[in-house]
């Protein structure tokens, strides 16, 4: 009897240890999945609440950074601009996402997010931070490449960020070499698009291909673009009559289905036809939906499209 009791006690102890081990393992897994971000001090980043390191449900209103999140493996459950869903670079990744605005409080609550990401200029931050931990980002507080590193630091994905940046440097160097037969380092480009039939020019930090052309590839902007666009607000509206003063060796014209009519109207004008770059066939018409953003996923596709367009213009 004593021997039997001893055996039962020993078995009980083993089961207890196994149970404790399983419990510890489950707790560890739970802790890992809900680990809190280090929330590093980054210029332009403000945190409200405990930001999860591995968020499971992200409501994102900072649309400029959708492609950054996706590159790091973070798939937002929402989007706010049609341009996100229409992006050839990452739109398919938002196939199951819901379109929301930051004022859709009830719909945001229904999403049960564990993280909300929003621009610092959003008027609804006070309401949003009461719903879930909120990461607030000031647009252009860091350049387009540094932003990937910043987000990598927040979500413990620095290795992924570094890997992409190293690969990007190699791709850019290869593209520059590939284009050196038709472009010199001082070749100038003008980046433009249309809004409600008006013409807008863009600098090196407002998307539309500006970051790619002026920063990554290092090509020049015409003097007037440098003075009135890059050195000032980063974008500038002009009339058709003076556009010739702003066009460099090449014009990069962002067009989509919504702006084709305005683009056609400009192309039919005598002012446009008399611009040297136009007469030389140096007009690169690019997909506005692809070139609008400057995130890693967009840049990868933009680089390929840009190289192809330049080569075709010089055939």
Q: What is the pLDDT of residues 174-185, one digit of tens each?
A: 999 999 999 999
Tokens representing 177 are 């070499």
List, for residues 27-74, the tens digit of each pLDDT value: 333 334 469 999 999 999 999 999 999 999 999 999 999 999 999 999
Share of the chain above pLDDT 70, in %: 89
Among 8-17, 222-231, 233-242, the minimum mean pLDDT is found in 8-17
Give residue 196's pLDDT band: very low, low, confident or very high (50, 70, 90).
confident
Q: Quick one: pLDDT at residue 1?
A: 42
If 0-12 CB within 10 Å is exposed, 13-18 middle and 19+ buried, where does residue 253 land? Answer: buried
- CATH topology assigned to domain 45-157: Rossmann fold (3.40.50)
Residues contacting residue 153 through CB under 8 Å, at least 6 positions apart: 38, 40, 42
Given this chain, do its domains 45-157 and 182-313 carry the same CATH topology?
yes
Mean pLDDT confidence for 288-297: 98
Q: In what order do the strands lie in the sheet with 45-48?
A: 45-48, 134-137, 115-119, 58-60
Mean pLDDT confidence for 124-153: 97
* 61 closest CA partner among 149, 146, 136, 155: 136
Higher pLDDT, 104 or 19: 104
The pTM of this model reads 0.88
| Helix/strand number for the chain, H first, E second | 14, 11
Is residue 287 within 8 A of residue 308, CB to CB? The reply is: no
Q: Quick one: pLDDT at residue 21?
A: 44
Check pLDDT > 60 for residue 169: yes
Q: Classify domain 182-313 at the CATH superfamily level.
A: Nitrogenase molybdenum iron protein domain (3.40.50.1980)
As a whole number of angstroms, the distance between CA 131 and CA 114 comes to: 9
Read off φ and ψ for residue 190, nearest 5 degrees.
-120, 125
Tokens representing 132 are 């879930």
Give residue 197's pLDDT band: very low, low, confident or very high (50, 70, 90).
confident
Check pLDDT > 80 for residue 24: no
Q: Quick one: pLDDT at residue 34?
A: 60
Give residue 244's pLDDT band: very low, low, confident or very high (50, 70, 90).
very high
What residues does each domain of the chain span? 45-157, 182-313
Mean per-residue pLDDT of the chain: 91
List, for residues 96-127, the tens digit of each pLDDT value: 999 999 999 999 999 999 999 999 999 999 99
Give residue 3's pLDDT band: very low, low, confident or very high (50, 70, 90).
very low
Mean pLDDT confidence for 79-101: 97
β-bridge partners, 115: 58
Mean pLDDT confidence for 206-226: 98
Q: Quick one: pLDDT at residue 10?
A: 42
List, for residues 264-286, the tens digit of each pLDDT value: 999 999 999 999 999 999 999 99
Give residue 18's pLDDT band: very low, low, confident or very high (50, 70, 90).
very low
For residue 45, CA distances in Å to 42, 77, 115, 118 come to 5, 21, 14, 10
As a whole number of angstroms, the distance between CA 176 and CA 307 comes to: 9
């Amino acid at each position: 009897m004593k021997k039997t009791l001893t055996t039962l006690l020993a078995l009980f102890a083993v089961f207890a240890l196994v149970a404790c081990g399983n419990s510890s393992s489950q707790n560890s897994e739970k802790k890992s999945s809900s680990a809190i971000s280090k929330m590093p001090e980054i210029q332009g980043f403000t945190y409200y609440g405990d930001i999860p390191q591995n968020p499971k449900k992200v409501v994102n209103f900072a649309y400029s950074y959708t492609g950054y999140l996706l590159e790091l493996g973070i798939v937002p459950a929402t989007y706010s601009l049609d341009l996100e869903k229409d992006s050839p670079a990452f739109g398919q990744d938002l196939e199951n996402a819901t379109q929301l605005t930051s004022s859709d409080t009830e719909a945001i609550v229904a999403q049960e997010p564990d993280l909300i990401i929003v621009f610092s200029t959003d008027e609804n931050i006070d309401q949003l931070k009461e719903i879930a931990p909120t990461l607030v980002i000031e647009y252009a507080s860091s350049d387009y490449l540094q932003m990937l590193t910043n987000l990598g630091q927040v979500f413990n994905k620095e290795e992924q960020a570094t890997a992409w940046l190293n690969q990007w440097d190699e791709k850019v160097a290869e593209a520059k070499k590939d284009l050196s037969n038709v472009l010199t380092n001082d070749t100038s480009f003008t980046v433009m698009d249309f809004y409600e039939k008006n013409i807008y020019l863009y600098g090196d930090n407002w998307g539309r291909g500006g970051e790619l052309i002026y920063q990554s590839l290092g090509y020049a902007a015409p003097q007037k673009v440098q003075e009135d666009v890059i050195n000032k607000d980063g974008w500038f509206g002009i009339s058709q009559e003076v556009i010739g003063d702003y066009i460099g060796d090449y014009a990069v014209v962002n067009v989509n289905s919504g702006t084709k009519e305005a683009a056609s109207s400009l192309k039919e004008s005598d002012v446009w036809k008399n611009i040297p770059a136009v007469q030389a066939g140096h007009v690169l018409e690019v997909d506005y939906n692809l070139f609008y953003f400057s995130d890693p996923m967009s840049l990868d596709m933009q680089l390929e499209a840009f190289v192809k367009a330049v080569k075709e213009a010089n055939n």
